[in-house]
Amino acid sequence: MHGPFNRGGGRKPMGEINVVPFIDVMLVLLVIFMITAPMMTQGVQVDLPQVTSEPIESTDDSDPIIATVDREGRFYLSIGEDDQSPISLDEIADRVIILLERRPGTPVLVKGHKDVGYGAVVTLMSTLQVAGVSNVGLISEPPGGEG
C-alpha cells in the first residue's frame, strides 16, 4: 500500500538546525551597533588627568621649532628666538617647510594655552602635518605649574 498515511518509505526526520534566520538577526544587530556605537562616545565631557612626565632628552643640539596657540587663539612660531608676533596658519606652514628643508629632523613642538579651545590646537597640528611634519611633540606644564 502506498497511501498518504504510509510511513514506510521516503523521508527521514531532519536532525539539523536551520541557522539562516539566526545569521539574519545577527547581521541586523551588527548594523545597529555599528551605527549607534560612534554616537555613544560623542559629547562626553571629561576632566583630563594631570600627570608628571619626564622631559624628552634631545638627541641633537639644534633648537626645536615651537608652534604656539595663545588664549585668544592666535598662532606663533619660534625657532630659538623670542619673536612673538602672531602669524597665520599659511605662514606657519610655509616657514616650517623651509626650516625642515634646511634642517631635516628638527623636532617640532606644539604649545597651547590651557584655556584655548581643542579645535585650535588640532588645526595647528593639522597645518604642521600638511607642512610635512610627521612627529609632533606637545609641551606641557607639570601639575601645579603656571600655564
CB distance 73 to 116 below 8 Å: yes
For the domain that residue 78 is a member of, what is the CATH number? 3.30.420.270
Q: Look at the chain and report how many structural domains it folds into.
A: 1
Full domain range(s) for residue 130: 65-138
pLDDT in tens, 114-138: 788 888 888 888 888 888 887 888 7
Q: Quick check: is 56 in a domain?
A: no
pLDDT in tens, 88-117: 888 888 888 888 888 888 888 888 887 888
Q: Quick check: is 50 in a domain?
A: no
Q: Quick check: is 43 in a domain?
A: no
Q: Give the Cα separation of 69 and 110 in Å (integer).
A: 8
| Furthest CA-CA distance within the chain | 107
Q: Quick check: is 146 in a domain?
A: no
pLDDT in tens, 24-64: 999 999 999 888 877 765 444 444 445 566 665 655 556 78
Is this prediction's pTM over 0.85? Answer: no
Q: Which pLDDT score, from 0 to 100, does residue 71 have?
A: 81
